Structure 1
């Protein structure tokens, strides 16, 4: 009190335990003094409610009625006004809670009992029409409640203002504070009723995933409860899009029109079909803006994600195994990756310029492809020829189950110069990746192990290879691939041994990536993220393990050896055979080191299966690693409902195929019921999916004979119920005109939590390719829209009339509308005058996107209306 500033110091300060009474010269002094007290000690926090509560107890003793006090001091009109404020305060809060209850019901696809109406035949209540009408009524009720809120709040505000003008300042504060306290008790009863109704409908909002198991915060940042709530939804959680770019939306319909353009039936009605599609597209886009405003589901605020994304002191990423969210200090993250890159036997820094090095690698590949163009064919040549590639991007996934959280290095290889080549070579190498010891998946393994009936007790063991991908010797594996690939297979692709080796060397030995502004190449081992990674690792092991098993001494040789990638399941006649066999394997190759895990109490986990050996029989059940967090696809995620149903069916099917007994299946079903409930799924939905699955298993319907149709997939943005109205309208048009084609509509929503928290290094805009760009003249603001599948910097050099190799001025450059405008009006331009509008990996999508931007922006410097024909704009 001695140090308190005089401009808001109370004239009286008296305290009894934790209650304090104060007198101020002015009401405006209360809040500054409250803030001053709260700043004095970190453990002591004062609230003004306690101040008022103390005063309220003095002014309104328990043995005295508030009604009597107001009536005696201010009269009946003031009492009526206070009671009116009480009613409207409660109504305002109750309507908000009722609205939230209705929104939750709509979000979960359930109908409250008061919305349902009686029909003559009870079976009508199961029809789609009945449910549609019920949801229409639910929407009307939600709109009605939303309209009530501002009206009630306006009345409450006016009445409160009138009350404060009629009575003293102190009495108004006391009465309003009492009203708040009394209202909280009433609202608790409202919450209890709503929770009871939701529980009856199969919705339990109190059961959620454990945030402490989902979020691994190893950083110095302290998360708020709201941020934890958002992050606990997981990276795959989808949020409703607030807007869909016009050109991105109509790109889907342009692709649809180009897809059906060459179909034979109803060509004479082509204009009518495209006009109908165009009408549907424009109507849907207009409705979308209204539809976004009508989304009532409780989705998280994007401001929380943006605040986390913009924090440059942390890195938010996924864990190496399991689902979850890991937060690291950026300095620690970079330090761990730099430690990995410091291993000169695996990685090597490149000192030359990134663009120069990539261009050199592109030229090397393109020269080789030109030399074999005739033999491999024009289609393969066009597929593998590269221009405008980008370096891979290195990032790390923390191993949260290990001390110190080491990182697993991953290279994002999409778009690199040898990515398409690697995908092409995978189909040639795949026959070499399997042998008698490999298993296809856990289901085939379970079938094999369940059929085994050993005549004597056996011992189970599991071997794991340390850092398989980075330890696979590239040169040795390439030699193995060359020796084992048949000439007939190579000839069918137009290759011979010499060119095949050159292609393998380029695809496997030139893994170039960037990190923290520097460029590196991987010297040995296959990159995690490259399409060749699993193929090289499996080919190497398949070749050697056949020799290892054939040469293994019989006195400790396993009776069963099965491998999936770097995990191996073994059966031994005696436990004493395990260590000799482990030592034998570790002595076979200097790059390969196995670790061992043996059975405990006749149980062993392998892949996602727990195997039990009892009474000379193997029994299997599902197994989850310690890194399992309980996080799954949340029911409130803004995606089509069928995706959520498929997640139920998938895990039920997995449980059915893995569990070998009904007892273990029952335990797994009980676990899945809790798992889906904590991820927001209504309990009735899980058991409905379970009944349907078992019914199909034990009472399968005979397959009906149908005419095979050509299937075409149409990709569309997901917009909630509006998407299904759109699908219905398009189906009505397309099925009537193209009965021989089955159109499958795939809805997508890229507006995920993970997309807001990307931590991969961004590529330099001038090294971006497959982009639509916008040029704006700095002098007169004239615009030009173009597209390029090469680097943007190369296209800018062409506009300047310079060589893309040397950067020198060309004597006869190709025509450029930008350069002509610059010379004609003496308007110089620079690289900064070019801006990327959008990017598409597919060249066809790129041309359509360019045409859409030209059509909508009407740039002054473009000579043509569009780059290709448009049908919907």
Structure 2
């Protein structure tokens, strides 16, 4: 438990136990089906069942419990199995504790997720039901359940018609053409009220800018959604802070207050993930940015108070990558005379709408 390899190890162990137990033809049941830790089997009589359980426990460290059929009927996982003289009849089984709750059709959720709910219920009814009477009974139950969760009768009927048509469609003859190779492209997005617009923009970008060099290949875009972490929903900058110099993750503008620079509006634009006060101190220590201008042009080193009084915050962003992108945009638009951009560590900027 707790490891992704847990189910694999469990299956290895159970395969070993089953091989050791059923090597004896007197113990081997007529029918044996297992899904993880649930087993469906058909035995000759109660004594045969007791012998099987004893053999399984002797060949393992496991303990087994069992449930027998009632009037020829037994529920196994989500299937109801009814025995007849010549075959099994199967239908969908819903536990008494199932309150019929599912994804609501009116919820703020991608449309493909809602379609998958419809498809899952209808597909299970079609594949599990062995007769049309059992299938129709399940269709009636599912339709009422989905309508109670905001889906319309038309949506349910269309999905039922689609699944039945697919079931009765004759198999298509094999084509001689080469199989189409699909290149899967995955994009992770965060759920928002404009997710449909996001999807349209992404698909249009893909259609406009990507073309396969091979005519038998195609690109398939898969958009999946993740919930935002709590840290992404909480503001990292405290709005209660009254001291501008104590703010972090900001873009700041220094305007030189010297009388010779006032007519020229000489200014500097920068960004910092630390507090603004600490960033100004770093400028003084390294003789960079506005301090370099004062040393070279005015032949003196400015004080921390002078820098602080002449600096204003013009923007902020808690995302560090976007913060430096915004800084680059401000520099490109305003072209501050005191900025000397020698290098940049930004190679690509791409984010959702």
| C-alpha spacing 1:546/1:724, structure 2 compared with 1 (3 Å) | closer
2:264 maps to which residue? Answer: none
Aligned alpha-carbon RMSD (Å)? 3.9
1:308-457, aligned counterparts within 5 Å?
none
Structure 1 Cα separation of the partners of residues 179 and 59 of structure 2: 56
Cα displacement (A) at 1:708 = 2.2
1:418 maps to which residue? Answer: none
1:194-343, aligned counterparts within 5 Å?
none
SS in 2 for 1:605: strand
Structure 2 Cα separation of the partners of residues 872 and 546 of structure 1: 54
1:747 maps to which residue? Answer: 223
Aligned 8 A contact 2:188 2:225 in 1? no
Structure 2 Cα separation of the partners of residues 603 and 822 of structure 1: 84
Matched, 1:542 2:39: no
Aligned 8 A contact 1:714 1:743 in 2? no
Cα displacement (A) at 1:592 = 1.0
- Higher relative helix content: 1
Structure 2 Cα separation of the partners of residues 637 and 781 of structure 1: 46
Aligned 8 A contact 2:20 2:59 in 1? no
Match of 2:208 among 733, 743, 749: 733
1:624 maps to which residue? Answer: 94
Of structures 1 and 2, the one with the larger relative CO (CA 8 A, separation 6+) is 1
Aligned 8 A contact 1:851 1:866 in 2? no
SS in 1 for 2:66: strand
Match of 2:141 among 657, 663, 671: 671
Normalised by the size of structure 1, how large is the TM-score? 0.28
Gaps of 5+ in 1: 1-526, 757-772, 784-817, 828-835, 839-849
Match of 1:782 among 279, 282, 285: 279
1:672-711, aligned counterparts within 5 Å?
672-700=142-170, 702=172, 708-711=180-183
Structure 2 Cα separation of the partners of residues 587 and 822 of structure 1: 79
Cα displacement (A) at 1:576 = 3.3
Structure 1 Cα separation of the partners of residues 18 and 179 of structure 2: 47
SS in 2 for 1:616: coil
| C-alpha spacing 1:564/1:711, structure 2 compared with 1 (3 Å) | same
Cα displacement (A) at 1:871 = 7.1
| C-alpha spacing 1:706/1:586, structure 2 compared with 1 (3 Å) | closer
2:40 maps to which residue? Answer: 569
The number of aligned residues is 269
Give deviations 1:3-23, integer Å, cap 9, x for gaps. Answer: xxxxxxxxxxxxxxxxxxxxx
1:25 maps to which residue? Answer: none
Aligned 8 A contact 2:32 2:42 in 1? yes
Give deviations 1:390-419, integer Å, cap 9, x for gaps. Answer: xxxxxxxxxxxxxxxxxxxxxxxxxxxxxx
Cα displacement (A) at 1:863 = 7.8
Aligned 8 A contact 1:639 1:748 in 2? no
Normalised by the size of structure 2, how large is the TM-score? 0.63
| C-alpha spacing 1:716/1:581, structure 2 compared with 1 (3 Å) | closer
SS in 2 for 1:550: coil
SS in 1 for 2:106: coil
1:836-855, aligned counterparts within 5 Å?
851-855=321-325
Aligned 8 A contact 2:30 2:42 in 1? yes
Aligned 8 A contact 2:199 2:223 in 1? no
Cα displacement (A) at 1:727 = 4.3
Match of 1:662 among 132, 139, 142: 132
| C-alpha spacing 1:581/1:777, structure 2 compared with 1 (3 Å) | closer
Aligned 8 A contact 1:630 1:675 in 2? yes
Give deviations 1:671-692, integer Å, cap 9, x for gaps. Answer: 1111111111001110011112
SS in 2 for 1:649: helix
SS in 1 for 2:67: strand
| C-alpha spacing 1:607/1:538, structure 2 compared with 1 (3 Å) | same
Give deviations 1:187-218, integer Å, cap 9, x for gaps. Answer: xxxxxxxxxxxxxxxxxxxxxxxxxxxxxxxx
Match of 1:612 among 82, 86, 102: 82
| C-alpha spacing 1:866/1:742, structure 2 compared with 1 (3 Å) | farther
Give deviations 1:535-577, integer Å, cap 9, x for gaps. Answer: 111111111221122258x2x6522222221111111111332
Structure 2 Cα separation of the partners of residues 732 and 681 of structure 1: 32
